[in-house]
Amino acid sequence: MTHARGDTLGPRLGMNIDHVATVRNARYKDAKLDGNVTGASPFAHAEPDPVRAAHEAELGGALCITAHLREDRRHVRDRDIERLIETVRVKFNLEMAATESMVALAEKTRPHMCTLVPEGREEVTTEGGLDVAGQRDRLARIVRRLQTVGVRSSAFIDANETQIRAAADAGFDACELHTGPYAIAFAHTGGELHTGPAHAELITLQNAGALVRELGMQLNAGHGLTVASVGPVARIEGMEELHIGHSIVARSIYIGMRAAVREMVDTISAAAR
Ligand code: PXP
């Protein structure tokens, strides 16, 4: 099923702005970023600003903004999250580890949704799905705490039946299926989708997506997607939201953030049509 929203069709684009902060931090590592929302800060020049990038992404058609506040604050910082919560006009999705300090921050700041992810200190980006099955009861308590303050919860998981069933048992509102293995297979096979590994990964995602919906959860997906590989994922039955960061930020260096987001939104819409 596809659904129309304004001039777009199919899944919403959730724009992940972490890598804008990665570029900023490469230069302004120790900046305090303590100014107000309008940017009147001694570090107003700490560019690129992920909050301004989020605004551009909204103008380009993103219907959700995502930021991952890591334990080591390697890209977005606490002040970025406060400013995003104050200024983002579409949905705001806080990606975070399932730790006490992050849950407390989510209870205080109340984003629309929290996506729980595993967090390894050495990884460059999130590398694998969350092991929900191995910590189901602990995660169920976190999900209930988030629901109590009106925050939806999503589990970033591998497209695996055990994990999906555990996410439903834990009470998650949504699952974000990890599309990394599909994206890698797609790149390695030059986009061959009739047979071979990318085809197999796509079937795995389709079956996993059907189970997520059968168990009554919202179906989201993301990681590693590009304008070349996003189409087949956008066409998966009932897909609601696609979370994409790196390829859009990379493309924005050439054509600007608003245009890069619009290009991805149009690609998703065309695929869903
Ligand atoms: N979803 C999750 C849970 C992620 O951790 C990330 C990467 O930060 C993404 C989606 C976006 O992945 P990419 O930057 O490869 O598009």
Helix residue ranges per DSSP H, 13-131: 18-27, 50-60, 78-87, 100-109
Burial (CB count within 10 angstroms: exposed 0-12, middle 13-18, buried 19+), residue 82: middle
Q: In the prediction, which pLDDT does 217 show?
A: 98
For ligand 1, is residue 125 a contact (CB within 6 Å)?
yes
Confidence class of residue 123 from pLDDT cuts 50, 70 and 90? low
- Run of H or E residues at 14: strand 12-16
Residues 34-48 have a mean pLDDT of 60
Residue 156 CA: which ligand 1 atom is closest? 3
| Ligand 1 contact via 246 beta carbon (within 6 Å) | yes
3 band by pLDDT with thresholds 50, 70 and 90: very low
Q: What is the reported pLDDT for 133?
A: 97
The one-character DSSP state at 164 is H
Is pLDDT of 246 > 60? yes
- The protein residue whose alpha carbon is closest to atom 3 in ligand 1 is 156
- Mean pLDDT, to the nearest integer, of 65-73? 93
115 lines ligand 1 (CB under 6 A): yes
* Residues sharing a CB contact under 8 Å with residue 18, sequence separation 6 or more, in sequence order: 50, 66, 67, 68, 75, 76, 245
According to the model, what pLDDT value does residue 46 have?
A: 87
Q: How far apart are CA 152 and CA 147, in angstroms?
A: 6
User: Measured between alpha carbons, how far is residue 51 from residues 197, 219, 232 in Å?
Assistant: 38, 27, 30
**Are 85 and 65 in contact, with CB atoms under 8 Å apart?**
no
C-alpha separations of 262 from 12, 152, 226 in Å: 12, 26, 13
Is 68 part of the annotated catalytic residue set?
yes
Is 119 a residue of the active site? no
Residue 36: which pLDDT band, with cuts at 50, 70 and 90? very low
**Strand-strand pairing, 218-222 and 8-9:** unpaired
How remote is the CA of residue 247 from the centroid of ligand 1, in Å?
Answer: 10
Ligand 1 center from residue 239 Cα (angstroms) = 16
pLDDT bin (cut points 50, 70, 90) of residue 112 is very high
> Given CA atoms 180, 182, 186, 189 in this order, what sign does their dihedral have?
positive
d(CA 228, CA 244): 13
Residue 5, pLDDT > 80, answer no
pTM of the model: 0.92
For residue 58, what are the contacts with CB-CB under 8 A and spacing of at least 6? 65, 88, 89, 90
Residues 71-102: tens digit of each pLDDT: 888 889 999 999 999 999 999 999 999 999 99
Active-site annotation holds for 95:
yes
pLDDT score of 29: 73
pLDDT for residue 7: 58
d(CA 217, CA 209): 10
Between 119 and 63, the higher pLDDT residue: 63
Indicate which residue's Cα is closest to atom 2 of ligand 1: 223
Q: Which residues pair with 176 in a beta bridge?
A: 156, 220
